[in-house]
Amino acid sequence: MKNLIIMIVALLCATTNFAKNIKQLPITVENNVKGAPITMGIPFPLGELYSVDNIRLLNNQGKEIPIQTTEVTTWLPADESVKWIWVFFFSEESANYTLEYGEGILPSRVSNGIISTNNMRPQGGITVNTGPLKFSINKQGNGFLDKVYLDQNDDGIFDANEIIASAPDKRRGTFLDILDDNGLDMSKAVIHEVFREKGSGPLHTIFRIEGTYVYENANNPSPFEIRVHAYAGKSFIRVLHTITYTGNPDKHKNREGDHANIATQNNIILSEETMNDPGWTQPDDQIAGSGITFNYHLANDVKFITSTHEGDWYNKASSSLFTLDDPGNQKVGVLQTGPKQNNPEKTSSPTKRIEGFKSEIYRGGQSLKDTQRSNGWVDISDFSKGISLGIKNFFQEYPKEIQVDLKTNSLNGYIWPPEVEPMNFARKHTEKDGGMLGNFAQGITKTTEFIYYFHQGSDAEEIEAIMDYSLNSPVAHAAPEWYAESKVYGNMAAYSSAHQEFENALQYKYDWWSFNQDWEPWYGMFDYGDGKNYYIAGEWHQWNNNEPTVDFQFWTNFMRTGNPKYYYLAEAMSNHTMDVDNVHWPRKRTYLGQINDAIDFWNYEDEPESTPYLGIGRRHAEEHWYSLLSAHVWIQGWIASYYLSGNHRALDVAKMTGDTYLKRIWGDHDLRGRRLYLSVLNLVELFDATKSMKYGTELDKRVETMLELQKEQGGNILIDRYGYSQTYVAQGLYKYYQLTGDTRIKKVLVDHARWVLNVPPYNHEMESYLATIHPLLLGYEFSGNKIYLEEALERAEVLKVSKLSKNSSEFENQKVYSEALLEISNLPESQENPRFTNWEMNQGLRVFGWTHAFNIPYLLYWLEKENLKTGDNVENTETNNYNGAN
């Protein structure tokens, strides 16, 4: 009996200890759709989790569901614990889940996972079997899906008669056709490599296909990428397709040399006084058409289904299904165009929205139905099976087209429809922009997301639901407090109503920006995601081009609020800026060594070098590609996109920028001023995501340079010219300290806080002055001296905003909304610019980043921690550790 009692006590103790080791984290899926594939990024505080093997997910009934977990990055070199993970699962009917983690967790193994092969030999390719679907993409094939099989009888065997799609001829599975004075030059697709991406596993696997479009008429070859996402037990795939424009955008006279703004030498400098050259406004190489296609294998009698919005383009109208039971033997499809095609050179006025959006469902030359907005998907089915195709942001990224050609039995998804006027990149005028007269369209990219659903039957409601997996994708998140308490972005607070006057300043501005995105609207294939900077006399001016890391502003607000609206805004902005607002070509390939023959390396050595400007960003301008400038690329939001949504391309583009830092193309100019400050922020984010020592070593050197310069500048890390760059220093050095534990950084930041306390920067007026709030807060964190927190609170007083009389969606027009924002603002007017005040509440998000976005979340943290109201006295405290107070 005694031994039995001892055993029971021991078992109870073990059970108790096991329970103590298990922790739970609530997860919510917004816009939930049953069966949708979910990839979500979750951060963990330092020391909280040491292995992704100790995680499982429970549904709302407490039952474990299959998941796939990936370690994305760790807290190294400070600690070996996990910092970010990806969790993949298929959503259920309920939107609520529980993530359990800890040493005692042993998740169930996944059964019936994806079976795939990747033959990297020159004649190789990939084959993927998800269970109901099998497809292949061959290096010697036609650029996209070569064969697709649907297991109709569910026997696990893919017979020849179960083929549902195959590639077209002549390497035209994907295409980017160019039109110039020599006529139409139709591309051919050549695949070079196929890679399996990080995050692949039994439930979800991702392949990246790299290839090149080649031409006959001496046009430059053009790289393309295709990422294919496949899912266990599912017969749909997501496809992310990236094209690169490598043409000559206009006919201006090309001259040897560099623009002074981005000069890599001083021997030959281009003149900016070439406005008399008419070639600037004359298009040369234009995009005539681009897309992806394959041949479908269906019976002769097919049915066509699509869906449109009813009513005005800007209203959330009801959807309407359109069915064509006998489409005949012609081309049938849906074409979405917009003001750029139908009402050019126009935008909405402050009181009236623009017209010119048109969605046309057609058969041959006959228009069957015209509305203003399409939902962006079609289905073609016979009596037993069918194929659905959807394009994400079909309306916002117009022009777009999905077409079924019943003569050739092909299904075509057009990124740029051949039926509309070609896309030209010539300048609209010859006025200088940012002191520069140039055209840098060559080398921009564009990524488009497709969803393909190969199915049995033709249930329209089921088809529309699965299309929404991509077109209106669900968003999963943890509680906002979890992101804040993880400290991955320092001491920021989750959203709360405790200090509503400060939250209003943030949320009202983001809502104003979102309102204008849909009012102007800021739509179009190369515009969507971005917005403009300055609102002057009822008109918006200058595309933002992501200064200063605007996409990260949205990602931060998503984490702080859990509102999917900001996820979508952030996703669109990150996707736009990494594609359009960056230089991607000419780019030399990365040497991999996957070929056995040694001559492969020497052939690689002989290939042309990349442009020196690879990975540098574009200055805010009237057009995205009019102006370049050093220190105009922000990767922080791209890395957040990589963490939070699993966007692989985001990290690839960030690494391209990081590799250019290593080359120091601008000499010591690259190591001074805002180039230095921003590079530290960018490199610390990149090093944190990759742990690559080439970035870590360069980061260390640049931090040392910054510290040496601070000694010469009396404690000020910045030179007076760039007072608005406070956020780069505050965030960059803080994260550097988190990762390295270098105790010198504490004193560096305190010394800097003391400087901006005693010598407030007024260059650029409020842009610089208000940007000091975050550095002052770091001074308080690392010294415990109340004067820094008190001064931060005092400077922040002008940021407080009272309550608007109505919600954003209730304002009848832009003019009324703008006036309402100015009425509640406490911000001082500019004393230097009589035209407008660029930090006002009715302006864009450029200056807002320095004055509000990267200050208020950190100010709220200390207000809540010290249980303060603005105006309260602050007691001195002991110095906190680098990770902030717990």
Task: Summarize pLDDT for 614-651 with one digit per residue, the tens.
Answer: 999 999 999 999 999 988 999 999 999 999 999 999 99
Angle of helix 550-561 relative to helix 500-519, nearest 10 degrees, comes to 120
Read off the pLDDT of residues 689-711 as tens digits, 9 standing for 90 and up.
999 999 999 999 999 999 999 99
Single-letter amino acid, residue 215: Y
55 beta partners: 101
Query: What are residue 24's DSSP bridge partners?
Result: 100
Q: What integer pLDDT is reported at residue 170 of this predicted model?
A: 86
pLDDT for the residue 882? 28
Identify the H or E element spanning 13.
helix 2-21
In Å, what is the CA distance from 226 to each residue of 115, 138, 192, 403? 20, 13, 12, 20
CA atoms of 443 and 497, how far apart (whole Å): 45
Residues in contact with 610: Cβ distance below 8 Å, sequence separation at least 6, in sequence order: 586, 587, 588
pLDDT score at 876: 53
Residue 16 predicted with pLDDT over 90: no
**Do β-strands 286-296 and 174-180 pair in parallel, antiparallel, or remain unpaired?**
antiparallel
Is 205 strand, coil or helix? strand
Spell out the SS3 assignment of 561-574: HCCHHHHHHHHHHH
479-582+617-865 maps to which CATH number?
Answer: 1.50.10.10
pLDDT confidence of 881, banded at 50, 70, 90?
A: very low
Confidence of residue 886 (pLDDT cuts 50, 70, 90): very low
Query: CATH says 115-254+280-311+319-331+375-426+441-475 is which class?
Result: mainly beta
- Please spell the DSSP secondary structure of 491-511, one letter per residue: S-PPP-STTHHHHHHHHHHHH
Q: For residue range 60-98, list pLDDT tens digits in order.
A: 999 999 999 999 999 999 999 999 999 999 999 999 999
Give the per-residue pLDDT at 10: 44
Cβ 637 vs Cβ 552: under 8 Å: yes
Compute the average pLDDT of residues 267-285.
Answer: 97
Per-residue pLDDT averaged across 592-598, rounded? 84
The 3-state secondary structure of 819-860 reads HHHHHHCCCCCCCCCCCCCCCCCCCCCHHHHHHHHCCHHHHH
> Does the structure show a pLDDT above 70 at 398?
yes
Domain ranges of the chain: 23-101, 115-254+280-311+319-331+375-426+441-475, 479-582+617-865
Position 457 scores a pLDDT of: 86
Tell me if the bond preceding 828 is cis, omega within 30° of 0: no
Compute the average pLDDT of residues 513-532. Answer: 98
Q: What is the pLDDT of residues 863-880, one digit of tens each?
A: 999 998 755 555 554 433
How far from the centroid of its chain's Cα atoms is residue 351's Cα? 31
Q: What percent of the chain has pLDDT over 70?
A: 96
pLDDT category at 884 given cuts 50, 70, 90 is: very low
Tell me: the pLDDT tens digits for 173-186? 999 999 999 999 99
Q: What is the pLDDT of residue 594?
A: 79
Q: What is the pLDDT of residue 8?
A: 46
Query: ω before 43 within 30° of 0 (cis)?
Result: no
**Residue 11: pLDDT over 70:** no
Residue (of 121, 119, 151) closest to 134 by Cα position: 151
Residue type, 380: I
Mean of pLDDT over the chain: 94
pLDDT of residue 13: 42
Encode 426-458 in three state secondary structure.
CCCCCCCECCECCCCCCCCEEEEEEEEEEEECC
* Mean pLDDT of the 217-234 span: 97
Tell me the per-residue pLDDT of 733-742, one tens digit each, with 9 for 90 and over.
Answer: 999 999 999 9
